[in-house]
Structure 1
Amino acid sequence: MKKPAPRKARTWITVSPWIIIGTVVILLPIVILMAFYSIEQQRTAMTKLLAEKGAALIRSIEAGARAGRSQTAIDLSNIQALVVETAQQPDIAHLIVTDMNGRIIAHNDPAKIGRYRGRELDLRAIAASRGLYYRRPEGRERDDIFEVFRYFSPASGRIAGTREGAIPDDVFRRTESQQPAYMIFVGLDRKPVASALKADARVTVVMALILLLIGFLGVTTLLILQGYRQTRATLSRIRTFSENLVEHIPIGVIATDASGSVTSLNQAAESILQIPASQALGRNAPDVLPAQLTSSLEKLSNGHTVIEGEISCFLPNGRSIDLDVIATSMAENGVFMGYVVIIRDLTEVKRLQNEIDRSRRLASVGRLAAGVAHEIRNPLSTIKGFATYFRDRCPDAPEDRRTAEVMIEEVDRLNRVVGQLLDFSRPVSVRSSTVSIPALVRRSLDMIEGRAREHNIIVETSLPGDNLEIDVDSDGLNQALLNLYLNAVEAMPAGGRLRVSASQDDGGVAITVADTGRGIDQENLSKIFDPYFTTKPSGTGLGLAIVHKIVEAHGGTMNVESETGRGTTVSFTIPSVEDARSRS
């Protein structure tokens, strides 16, 4: 089998790039803001930590200075010693004590005593506020220093070793006011804290990226799940629609898998092939499908991609039907999946086509008959007149008289044929009246009772009650039944059975006439309604043609089934007047 070209595999779900871009645009600012806020909080905490550490150092130096001073004087040498000793701690960059003019009076580096520090600041205002201040000093060498400064008051508080109440408080206030004012600057090394801050910032950035990734994956996952649900719902709707469509479409659909087993057989295919789906599904196609149909699949396996055409199939009941077949193979990504066969019953189409062809032929014959019949009747009248004249002139010549009588009989027979031909060429005029169908059938059978008895024919009827009534032309229907009875009797010269049945059919009536005679050959079935077609030596070939015309005039349909040697069944339906009008 010729395999189709490979196709690109389809993904089960797709995400629009705009959705991805939108997700990033929404999440990225949020994550960045959170990261900056976290870093800023850490920086604030570091500043607060260094400020508190500087304040603690200042308080400890003040306490040490108070412990070593007298009641009325501040010992600067003691403060210098405290500054030098305290500055030995590894995270202290410098300790400086200045007066209100910024002149250094104590420094951890004694060489810098006498220099100035903080003259760019309003030291007197800072001292008056008694607040704690901090800054990062300017200069390349001071970038890693965090400086805390405030008013330095070693004279405030109590002298170490004195008990409360020993020295009045006004003495302390008077002593402090009499002492000169100082400022203290504590320079803290911020490298360890800055390193920790950078590490925390890196962790924060990494966590932000992780959160961004998690958020992106979460949103994308939700979108994918939503798309999956929508796709699944859409596929479910499409599958339901396709199944309903295939199941109820009035065209037969048959599908097989790669191994040739039947996987699908819709209702139309069941009805056309007369094969229940329960018996076909899962079985090998050649075992359940007609051989003429499976031969189409063999053509596909030999390299054809699509098979189209008309075939004749025999059903399980032996009946032959014409099918329009379209068969093709299924493949996905170059892998053979099976076959799909679409069938359409052409029996009704063929019948209608035959009806159209026959109607055209009948119209042509009718026009010809109408023109020829009148031309034949005039010479017949003349011939009959001369034959009557010669018969009357030869009373004493029996042979001549008999010859004249035969001529008269043949002229009368030919005149009847011409009359039938004229009747056939004229449109049938239906004069409807309410008629009891069972009563009409019984009356028509009474007319052929004697002939049936002569041929040893048993007449059987299956009729409903007399309340089965319908509006029909009783004379025309009676003539149609008589023609069918006579054909049946002539088909059973050695005896047999004539079965007549009638039943209600969708507001109309269905009548069946069946015999057990010699039957009709299959090749002649399509011609039996043609005028002048007959298989009987003495027949005119107009009987069934007239029956068909009468049934058509009532808006009905006819069907003939026959088997050579087993008999013929003729059935016709006549609808109600309303149905006949709607069809016309």
Structure 2
Amino acid sequence: MHKQPRQHRLLMGIPPWILLGAVVVLLPIFAFIAVENIHRQKEQGTRLLLEKGAALIRSFEAGARTGMGMGWSNFRLQTLLSETAQQPDIDYIIVADTEGAILAHNRQDRIGDIHGGDLDLRAVSQSESVHWRIVAEPNGHKTFEVYRKFAPAGGSGMQHGRMMGMMGRMIGRRWQQGQTEQKDGRALIEPEALNIFVGLDMTAIESAREADTRHFLFMVFILLLIGFSGIILLFFFQSYRATRASLSRIKAFSDTLVENMPIGLIAVDTKRRVASMNYVAGSVLGLSETDATGSDIGHILPVQFQHQLDALEKEGRLDEREIEITVDDGRIIPLEISGTSLNDENGESLGYVLLFKDLTEVKTLRDEIERSQRLATVGRLAAGVAHEIRNPLSSIKGFATYFKERYRDVPEDQQTAGIMIKEVDRLNRVVSHLLEFARPIAVSKKPTPIKSLIEDSIKLIQQQADGKNIAIDTEIADSVVSAELDPDKINQVLLNLYLNAIESMDAGGMLSISLVKDNVKKRIEIRIADTGSGIREDNLAHVFDPYFTTKSSGTGLGLAIAHKIVEGHNGEIYPESRPGEGTTFIVSLPIR
């Protein structure tokens, strides 16, 4: 049922110009060969009959000459002619004069009749050449006639006269040497003017020629068919090569596409064996493509995959859904999986394809978004609370200052009032930081000399560094001239990082500040490194969280605000740290 359309497409795939070109090229060639061969066979047949007729004439002349020498009678000469004519394929043997009168014939009833009246017999009798023609009888029978001058004796005129006299007596005439008599008002020709005709049956040679022609035409047809088939096969071979090259390119493209897909792909055959697997699938599942190919999925794939394949076999397709799988090392990986069945053109199943994507990063981002949303809500709440707190704080600080001035003579009251003022100031700083963190960052960019900005910021913390025996080392590339940024905001970020670094080096150390330019990415990179106590690995992911701090007196908002400022510049800030060896904060900012 389905093979017929494929064959039809195969035949329809042959361009008509191929068929027409094959006919135009091959048909004239083989037609010319056929015509040439038929003509050559005809010439060969004519030459063969001509040679046979000439040989018979020579043979009869030799017999006649021998009979003359032995003194044969007229009867014996007639017998020689009749017996010679009885050979196969001989229709007749005739001896006639120049006017066509038959002097001798293998059929005696024809003696005296006229033969060859349409020929110039006198010219024939005077020529030594052998002539031929084809005589068509009324019944349609064709005879190949060979004729020439009859010369039974090549000697003296006396011998010719004797031969002519014998011929004359065969038909009731009397020949005289050198002269003739009158009979029925017609002058007899001279003895030398006789012609001989040999009629050969063409039936056998015509049959052989027709058979050869049919055989040759059959061979021409076979050769034409072979040539035609050869051209078609050549076309098919060229098409096959082109198709194979095209398929190779398509396969290379599809293999490259599958291998470099950003999602995992597993192809399974109808026996639930892995037919193909790309790199992403192998990396997610911790499998090698070489080891997995050909293996049963029940032995290498998580059981959750087998459940999805069961659903795919049942439903024919698998819409996108999220699942969690457990790999060999015990990790639980969230995946988004979908699948479909593979069928050939006849609808027969070839297998199934499963596509899946690792949602670990997506899930992490979702958690981060949810966390950020919660923090934003808390920030908005904190901002509202901060506004409500700041007014009472002003009153508390005012009363504390009043009591401190009023009770100057009471040391305990003075100390209590000072503590109140100090704590109110600290709480006011926390509220200020909280408000700054809660409100959107407003960045006013302008061309800023980076080297001057860093050198000025270092001067602000130089005294604190010297007080803790901390050396400051700077390395600023000369190629860095300026960048588009908000100098006040970036200065706030740098001061926060400097102060954190100084506070981490209680016993002194080295504060290193470097500036490099990345011409490829069009960015500058500021590195602030210390030789302090470092940050534990489990705390690195939280250093930019609001209110996260490892210091007893910190608010936990400094790095969160710094992170927000850097993000406002479309930049990045991240730490590198090893406990006991120090910490490096990298600030990456676009030049423009």
Does TM, scored on the shorter chain, surpass 0.5? yes
- Name the residue aligned to 2:250: 238
- Name the residue aligned to 1:247: 259
- Name the residue aligned to 2:173: none
Matched, 1:119 2:131: no
Give 1:533 deviation, angstroms.
9.2
SS of corresponding position for 1:302: helix
Q: For residues 516 and 57 of structure 1, what CA distance do their matches in structure 2 show? A: 126
Q: Which amino acid aligns with 1:385?
A: G
Gaps of 5+ in 1: 1-5, 162-173, 450-464, 488-500, 561-569
Q: Judge conservation of contact 2:82–2:107 (CA < 8 Å) in 1.
A: yes
Q: Judge conservation of contact 2:465–2:502 (CA < 8 Å) in 1.
A: no
SS of corresponding position for 1:137: strand
- Name the residue aligned to 2:227: 215
Residues 1:255 and 1:358: Cα distance change in structure 2 (over 3 Å): same
Q: Trace 1:386-535 onto structure 2 (pairs within 5 A).
A: 386-393=399-406, 408=421, 411-424=424-437, 425=439, 426-427=441-442, 432-433=450-451, 476-477=493-494, 479-480=496-497, 514-515=535-536
Q: Bigger shift: 21-30 or 354-363? A: 354-363
- Greater RCO (Cα-Cα under 8 Å, separation 6 or more): 1
Residues 1:83 and 1:138: Cα distance change in structure 2 (over 3 Å): same
Give 1:391 deviation, angstroms.
4.9
Q: Judge conservation of contact 1:74–1:155 (CA < 8 Å) in 2.
A: no
Q: For residues 242 and 116 of structure 2, what CA distance do their matches in structure 1 show? A: 72
**Could you tell me which of 270, 274, 295 is aligned with 1:258?**
270
Q: For residues 346 and 381 of structure 1, what CA distance do their matches in structure 2 show? A: 51
**Could you tell me which of 538, 542, 550 is aligned with 2:557?**
542
Give 1:479 deviation, angstroms.
2.4
Q: For residues 49 and 499 of structure 2, what CA distance do their matches in structure 1 show? A: 128
Matched, 1:556 2:569: no
Q: For residues 137 and 201 of structure 2, what CA distance do their matches in structure 1 show? A: 15
TM-score, normalised on structure 1?
0.68
**Could you tell me which of 335, 344, 351 is aligned with 1:338?**
351
Give 1:467 deviation, angstroms.
8.8
**What is the Cα-based RMSD across aligned positions, in Å?**
5.6
Q: Judge conservation of contact 2:390–2:431 (CA < 8 Å) in 1.
A: yes
Q: Could you report, residue by residue, the CA deviation over 1:500-550 in whole angstroms, capped at 9, with x for unpaired residues? A: x99999975698964377x79xxxx9x996757999999966355324325
Residues 1:138 and 1:369: Cα distance change in structure 2 (over 3 Å): same
Q: Which amino acid aligns with 2:571?
A: G
- Name the residue aligned to 2:509: none
- Name the residue aligned to 1:202: 214
Give 1:237 deviation, angstroms.
2.7
- Name the residue aligned to 1:41: 40
SS of corresponding position for 2:268: strand
Give 1:311 deviation, angstroms.
4.6
Give 1:52 deviation, angstroms.
1.0
Q: Which amino acid aligns with 1:213?
A: L
Q: Judge conservation of contact 1:95–1:187 (CA < 8 Å) in 2.
A: yes
Q: Bigger shift: 115-124 or 541-550? A: 541-550
Q: For residues 260 and 330 of structure 1, what CA distance do their matches in structure 2 show? A: 13
Give 1:301 deviation, angstroms.
2.6
Residues 1:558 and 1:298: Cα distance change in structure 2 (over 3 Å): farther
Q: Quick one: percent identity of the two aligned structures?
A: 45
Gaps of 5+ in 2: 160-176, 180-188, 481-486, 505-511, 519-524, 577-582
Q: Judge conservation of contact 2:311–2:318 (CA < 8 Å) in 1.
A: no
Q: Bigger shift: 231-240 or 391-400? A: 391-400
Q: Judge conservation of contact 2:339–2:355 (CA < 8 Å) in 1.
A: yes
Q: Which amino acid aligns with 1:207?
A: M
Q: For residues 4 and 584 of structure 2, what CA distance do their matches in structure 1 show? A: 59
Give 1:399 deviation, angstroms.
10
Q: Could you report, residue by residue, the CA deviation over 1:168-203 in whole angstroms, capped at 9, with x for unpaired residues? A: xxxxxx979962411222111111212222222222
Q: Judge conservation of contact 2:302–2:326 (CA < 8 Å) in 1.
A: yes
**Could you tell me which of 299, 306, 317 is aligned with 2:311?**
299
Q: For residues 181 and 538 of structure 1, what CA distance do their matches in structure 2 show? A: 158
**Could you tell me which of 100, 103, 106 is aligned with 2:104?**
106
SS of corresponding position for 1:106: strand
- Name the residue aligned to 1:149: 147
Q: Which amino acid aligns with 1:252?
A: G
Give 1:49 deviation, angstroms.
1.0
Residues 1:198 and 1:276: Cα distance change in structure 2 (over 3 Å): closer
Residues 1:338 and 1:234: Cα distance change in structure 2 (over 3 Å): same
Q: For residues 207 and 25 of structure 1, what CA distance do their matches in structure 2 show? A: 19
Residues 1:64 and 1:175: Cα distance change in structure 2 (over 3 Å): farther
Q: Judge conservation of contact 2:26–2:224 (CA < 8 Å) in 1.
A: yes
Residues 1:205 and 1:282: Cα distance change in structure 2 (over 3 Å): closer
SS of corresponding position for 1:114: coil
Give 1:7 deviation, angstroms.
10
Q: Judge conservation of contact 1:394–1:400 (CA < 8 Å) in 2.
A: yes
Q: Judge conservation of contact 1:328–1:339 (CA < 8 Å) in 2.
A: yes
Q: Which amino acid aligns with 1:419?
A: S
